[in-house]
A = this chain, B = another copy of it.
Amino acid sequence: MVGIKDVAEAAGVSVATVSRVLTKHTNVRPIVRDRVLEAVKQLNYRPNLVARSLRSQQTKTIGLIVSDIRNPFFSSISRAVEDTAYEQGFSVLLCNADENPEKEALYLNLLRDENVAGVIFSPTLHAINNFKDLRLDLPIVIIDRSTKNGSVDSVLLDNVTAAFQLTTHLIENGYRRIGAIFGVPSMTAIERQQGYEEALQAHSLIVVSKLIKHVQPKLEAGYMATQEFLEMAQPPDAIFTGNGLLGAGALTAIREHNWAIPDQIALVTFDETHWATLVQPAITVVAQPTDEIGKIATELLLQRVAEPERPARKIILQGKLLIRGSSAARNPSLL
């Protein structure tokens, strides 16, 4: 293994000088710099990042904690995070916490032990509430979930507005009994439900508690909840799901019952996915700007790493309503 010492020797300088040209902290004479660079190339020297981290007390790694990377929402964010991080010379450690507070704590600790520069985190409600217990000195950027704690950077969707738009769209297209399925527990669900209810109220519709379901944010849960909806004596005429997995579950159930979309039941969901455009009719969704979320979160994090005392920011992005066939205007004769 060729070390900095070898380079120093080859270039006829001290190790300190080599380190200086490589980390460009201080001035070194151009002639010397070139000699060092030449030696580096000659020997194919590559600094040992572990040693560097130990001495400098900082790593070029960030942690990313999501619930499950298989969720396309998080895959997409993670891709944006990795790209952005890499551009700035950072690597990313991936953690799947499964919405499990214990796993979250474990990973958070692990990441601290690894001395990561910071963490991008999509925490459970539990983690948010017990934030101070974790007593994390780490820079953190929260994504997708809002927190009252104003002292932490976050990048979020304007969930209330997005849910309001999605619901309003349904109402305007003639739907009246809108069943809603939210993934709990999370602030995100609460906000989305709020938008849903506000839209109903804005159109003088009453909020029917039987038409609101709180389930785990999983495909199976969406499937079950939808089944229950479809088997009600007075089933809803539209279903609104709070995320892509629930949407997939809902669609599965609708298919199984052989109900026609949107004639017998409309379907809209949060999160854009491949399948939403491939099925027929295509599904109306609110697309989240995942690329932007990932990119901004990473930038925010790296800025905080560079300047720890910077006041925290909360970036709120807007969803994009993509209207498709699954929520087409209801046949007036049915009204």
Asked if A31 CB lies within 8 Å of chain B CBs, one says: no
In the bound complex, do residue B278 and residue A252 qualify as a contact, i.e. CB atoms below 8 Å apart? yes
Give 8 CB contacts A-B under 8 Å: A61-B93, A61-B114, A82-B96, A92-B94, A255-B280, A274-B274, A275-B275, A279-B279
Residues of A within 8 A of B (CB): 46-51, 53-54, 59, 61, 64, 68-70, 72, 75-76, 78-79, 82-83, 91-96, 109-110, 112-115, 248, 251-252, 255, 273-275, 277-280
A-side interface mostly: helix
Q: Which residue of B lies closest to A83 (CB)?
A: B96
Contact yes or no, A51 B54, CB < 8 A: yes
Q: Write the nearest CB–CB distance from A160 to chain B, whole angstroms.
A: 28
CB distance from A332 to the nearest CB of B (A): 26
- Check if A278 sits within 8 Å of B280, measured CB to CB: no
The answer to whether B50 and A114 touch across the interface, beta carbons within 8 angstroms, is yes
Q: A70-B79, A83-B96, A280-B280 are in contact. List 14 more A-B contacts (CB 8 A).
A: A46-B112, A50-B50, A54-B54, A64-B94, A72-B75, A78-B94, A82-B96, A91-B95, A92-B93, A94-B94, A248-B278, A251-B278, A275-B275, A279-B279
A46 to B: closest C-beta gap in Å: 5
Q: In whole angstroms, how far apart are the Cα atoms of A134 and B75 in the complex? A: 29
Contact residues in B for A115 (Cβ distance below 8 Å) = 48-50
Q: Are B70 and A70 in contact (CB under 8 A)?
A: no
Give Cα A332 to B280, complex, Å: 27
